[in-house]
Chains A and B, each alone.
Chain A
């Protein structure tokens, strides 16, 4: 699947795959499913995934989107990979905190900060 058709911007640099969202609002359940599938394909193609997901320009997301991220996190973990989340708007970060998912994910303020933490 072409990641762009799922609304994702993907580029790889220095062994780290950087993912961004084209849409501000990750709302549509079908779109969330596509995002999950596209990220899954990326993970499957890597021996040891190193993925940074940037939430820059994302204004809103649902628990279904959180669920897709959890699945991504589980799949990256199963391959002993690394996943970082960054550039999360304060209101959305609050959603992660309320759901205690800030304890599950490694979240950084900026992509630059997150990139520095990959092994």
Chain B
């Protein structure tokens, strides 16, 4: 693990196709640095701008949820992000140090009654932009898959 907490396992051996980072609360530079690593890998693998936008949005929503809801804003708790790019797409895993949540209990933010509520859209956006989203019990880990269009 490097001093930044980023494990660039993609350095050299797999051409930037995998990596993991442990993010500290409020450490936006570390998140941006890790994102840059992912985006370089995605571009090198031929992902287009729209695909990268989708992956970025889903990842940032998962990370934000991990800090805000999973870790409940506790500055001592971290969020771990791992990614792997393969020939047909990429997988992303985001894990916080919280106790988890029940995804079935999250209200639908697109219902008329919920449109004016400022929060609650993160999981919905992940599901809209990724091919598959799985909340691993007890709910402090989310695994996502983006399959490229054939």
Contacts and interface: CB of A to CB of B under 8 A. Distances in A.
A69 to B, nearest CB: 9
B28 A66 contact: no
A27 B115 contact: no
Contacts of B128: 98
Interface in B51-65: 53, 56-57, 60-61, 64
Interface residues of B: mostly helix, strand, loop or mixed? helix
Contacts of B110: 99-100
Q: Which size class do B's interface residues fall under?
A: 20 to 34
Contacts of A98: 124-125, 128
Given A62-B60, A70-B116, A70-B117, 16 more contacts: A27-B31, A27-B60, A29-B26, A29-B64, A30-B26, A62-B57, A62-B61, A63-B61, A63-B121, A63-B125, A67-B121, A91-B49, A95-B125, A99-B109, A99-B124, A104-B115
Nearest to B56: A60
Contacts of B26: 29-30
A27 B109 CA distance: 21
A103 B32 CA distance: 32
Q: Which size class do A's interface residues fall under?
A: 20 to 34
A68 interface: yes
Contacts, number: 57
Contact of B115 (A68, A71, A101): A101
B57 A95 contact: yes
B64 A64 contact: yes
A-B residue pairs, 6 tightest by C-beta: A67-B118, A63-B121, A100-B110, A70-B118, A28-B28, A98-B128
A60 B124 CA distance: 17
Nearest to B60: A62
Contacts of A29: 26, 64, 67-68
